[in-house]
Amino acid sequence: MRFLLRLASLVALAAAVIAGTIDSIQSVAASTVVMTPISDAWQDVSPTTLTSLQSLLSYYIHPRFYTFIFQWLMLQPAFAVFLVIALLLWMIGYKKPPVAGRFTA
């Protein structure tokens, strides 16, 4: 299970680096800071999954959750969202080293 969490963390980190690279290229081209929201990035990659997730959340979960939390999350920069997801997955899959050391009984 830890391997899958670390692998998902690596994929999320790669997505964050790609999103950050795209934003930096667009920022240099426009001579201003450009940060793509996660909703725009998701809309470009797979618009059907975005609309289905929005309809599922608005139907099965309280409408206030959808209005406040989900819409706020969709306005955040894509690279930052992927970085937070990568960090959380890495923290969940992290194995603490033994306290007593390597040669304990």
Decide if pLDDT at 53 tops 70: yes
54 and 72 both lie in a single domain: yes
State which residues form the domain around 68: 37-76
11 and 22 both lie in a single domain: yes
Q: What is the pLDDT of residue 104?
A: 63
Q: Give me the number of domains the chain comprises.
A: 2
Q: Tell which wins on pLDDT, 105 or 13.
A: 13
Count Cβ neighbours within 10 Å for each residue of 20-59 and write b for 16 or more, e otherwise. Answer: beebeeeeeeeeeeeebebbebbeeeeeeebeeeeeeeee
Instruction: Answer yes or no: is 99 within a domain.
Output: no
Instruction: Answer yes or no: is 20 within a domain.
Output: yes
Over residues 3-14, the pLDDT tens digits come to: 999 999 999 999
Q: Tell which wins on pLDDT, 58 or 10.
A: 10
Q: What is the pLDDT of residue 79?
A: 94
31 and 82 both lie in a single domain: yes
Instruction: Answer yes or no: is 71 within a domain.
Output: yes
Instruction: Answer yes or no: is 101 within a domain.
Output: no
Counting Cα atoms < 13 Å in the Cβ hemisphere of 77 gives 16
**What DSSP character marks residue 98?**
P
Name the strand (E) or helix (H) holding 11. Answer: helix 2-30
54 and 68 both lie in a single domain: yes
